[in-house]
């Protein structure tokens, strides 16, 4: 009954109620110009846009839907984009705390709103600068991007102009672009009063580059930032403050939470904060900022220690694998000797065959193999390590020399042979 009692109302404010669905009676109010349905309880948000329920309000110029679970800006297309049946030229759009995390997919979502004056995107979770493309003729009184997660204050818009840009309560620390407030480094993004609110961010000082960019403005609010009076750029901050405070009109107005100010209290280090010291009067100690001479101990000692460690590691590896390394060296030597001996004639060899066998097979070698071959009709001359190797030489050297001086090699292949490491090496050779 209440909702049907005044069918000609032009302003309907249902902000803060707990409706799960919008009352159907409100869609009979064709005279509504300002609609505020800011509630976090609504379940039919998508239905409101997809079914174009806002078409019930042909005179609408102020739309507020803060705290609604919109999340995806594509939902807004039916309301904000031109339609063949109806187009809404809105002056105020309030999408505060709607869970928007990005506008990258719809940077031109507000482009057709030529008469837009107030755009509120406060309290969302946007990280990347949206680079919003507004209507070229749009001149916003306020663009509210506060309470988001921005780390860079530039690239908020790529077209259009604003009067007041609110970037308070974000994570902006610094920037180095002196043309940050210009579109394509040419046209200023501001019309009339040029004010940026950067209060309650994480700005420790104003550097030279930041100071140059702020010359484009008429006012900047830097209140409640963690001013660090031990920062190495503090002298630049002091010089900037002095220049601004002593400039002739017109001059940049510095604000602290909307109140004019000409100095800042140090918030860091703790000693400066507890002493209520100010930026303009603090004695800055630049000793920690001076470039320290190179530490010769580190400069020379570290490379030498690294080389020594590498050499020690190589020695440990070589010692651990000394037998394998020795074997490998002899194997390479044998391969080279065999290549050099490939042109030998039969008369150049001392033995007909070198016998490679395990000691446990000695009875067979000495008792059967040796008499059969050496006392047979061919009278072959064999080389046995226990009989023909010279005393006092390394066994590996004797094996290499015996093989190089033999036309063939006879391998007595038994289980004992396979289980012997030396026999395996001889077989590899």
Could you tell me the two tokens for 369? 């193999």
Query: Across residues 219-245, what is the average pLDDT?
Result: 95
DSSP letter, residue 367: I
Q: Can you say whether the dihedral through the CA atoms of 16, 47, 86, 156 is positive or negative?
A: positive
Q: What SS3 class is residue 307?
A: helix
Under DSSP, the state recorded for 55 is G
What's the pTM value of the predicted model, to 2 decimals? 0.68
Assess whether pLDDT exceeds 70 at residue 296: no
Q: Which helix (H) or strand (E) holds 351?
A: strand 351-356
Percent of the chain residues topping a pLDDT of 70: 90
- What pLDDT was estimated at residue 288? 82
Strand order in the sheet with 351-356: 382-383, 351-356, 406-411
Nearest alpha carbon to residue 2 among 20, 19, 26: 26
pLDDT value for 349: 87
* Confidence check: pLDDT of 342 > 60: no
Between 394 and 58, the higher pLDDT residue: 58
Residue 240 is predicted with a pLDDT of 95
Q: Report d(CA 220, CA 257) in Å as an integer.
A: 10
Q: Above 60 in pLDDT, residue 366?
A: yes
- On average, the pLDDT of the chain sits at 87
User: Which residue from 4, 51, 5, 54 is spatially nearest to 34, judged by alpha carbons?
Assistant: 54
Residue with tokens 């066998």: 357
Model confidence band, residue 119 (pLDDT cutoffs 50, 70, 90):
very high
Q: Per-residue confidence at 290, pLDDT binned at 50, 70, 90?
A: confident
Q: Is the pLDDT of residue 1 over 60?
A: no
């Amino acid at each position: 009954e209440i909702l049907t009692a005044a069918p000609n109302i032009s302003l309907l404010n249902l902000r803060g109620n707990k409706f799960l669905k919008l009352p159907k009676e409100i869609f009979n109010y064709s005279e509504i110009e300002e609609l505020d349905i800011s509630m976090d309880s609504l379940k039919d948000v998508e239905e409101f846009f997809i079914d174009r329920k806002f078409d019930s309000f042909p005179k609408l110029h102020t739309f507020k839907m803060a705290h609604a679970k919109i999340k995806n800006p594509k939902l807004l297309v039916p309301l904000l984009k031109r339609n063949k049946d109806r187009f809404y030229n809105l002056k105020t759009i309030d999408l505060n705390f709607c869970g928007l995390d990005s506008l990258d997919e719809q940077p031109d979502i507000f482009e057709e709103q030529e008469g837009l004056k107030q755009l509120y995107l406060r309290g969302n979770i946007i990280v990347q600068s949206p680079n919003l493309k507004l209507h070229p003729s749009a001149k916003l009184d306020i663009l509210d991007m506060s309470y988001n997660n921005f780390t860079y204050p530039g690239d908020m818009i790529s077209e259009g102009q604003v009067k007041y840009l609110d970037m308070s309560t974000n994570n902006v620390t610094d920037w180095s672009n002196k043309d940050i407030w210009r579109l394509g480094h040419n046209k200023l993004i501001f019309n009339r009063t040029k004010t940026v609110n950067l209060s309650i961010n994480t700005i420790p000082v104003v550097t030279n580059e930041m100071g140059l960019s702020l010359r484009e403005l008429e006012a900047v609010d830097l209140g409640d930032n963690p001013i660090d009076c031990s920062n190495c750029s503090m002298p630049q901050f002091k010089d900037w403050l002095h220049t601004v405070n002593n400039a002739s009109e017109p001059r940049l107005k510095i604000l602290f939470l909307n109140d004019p100010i000409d100095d800042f209290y140090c918030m860091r280090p703790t000693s400066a904060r507890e002493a209520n010291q100010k930026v303009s009067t603090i004695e800055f100690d630049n000793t920690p900022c001076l470039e320290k001479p190179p530490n010769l101990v580190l400069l020379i000692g570290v490379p030498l220690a690294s080389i020594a460690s590498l050499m020690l590691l190589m020695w440990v590896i070589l010692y651990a694998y000394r037998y394998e390394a020795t074997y490998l060296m002899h194997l390479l030597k044998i391969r080279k000797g065999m290549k050099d001996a490939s042109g030998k004639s039969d008369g150049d060899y001392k033995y007909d065959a070198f016998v490679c066998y395990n000691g446990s097979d000695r009875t067979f070698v000495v008792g059967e193999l040796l008499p059969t071959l050496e006392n047979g009709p061919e009278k072959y001359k064999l080389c046995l390590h226990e009989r023909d190797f010279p005393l006092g030489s390394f066994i590996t050297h004797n094996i290499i020399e015996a093989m190089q001086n033999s036309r063939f090699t006879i391998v007595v292949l038994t289980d004992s042979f396979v289980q012997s490491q030396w026999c395996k090496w001889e077989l590899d050779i």
